[in-house]
Amino acid sequence: MYYFYINYPNFKDRTILIHEGECGHCQNGNGMHESGSNEKGFWAGPFKELIHVEEALKSLIKLFSYQPEIGNHTCCK
């Protein structure tokens, strides 16, 4: 499964990274601290295939006035 995180305060300055669910940063969409808080952002997913994540991100960023970069976290390489 795959996920991505949108960081509200910093998304213009950072690449939106796609993570595998088992990644220590992602932890199946719970994040590193597993706080469940959406105060600074949110995890989206799970997506079964990498192509589904990319399609969702392309649709989502159309809503932004700024077009952030999209990349793969090292866990996906």
Tell me the pLDDT tens digit for each residue of 13-72: 778 889 999 988 888 888 887 666 667 788 899 999 999 999 998 898 888 777 788 888
Res. 1 pLDDT band, cuts 50 70 90? very high
- Residues 2-24 pLDDT 10s: 999 888 766 667 788 899 999 88
Question: For the chain, what are the domain ranges?
Answer: 2-76
DSSP string covering the chain: -EEEEEETTTTTTSPEEEEETTSTTTTTTT-SS-----SSEEEEEEESSHHHHHHHHHHHHTTSSS---EEE-GGG-
Nearest 10 degrees: Cα torsion 58, 59, 61, 62: 120
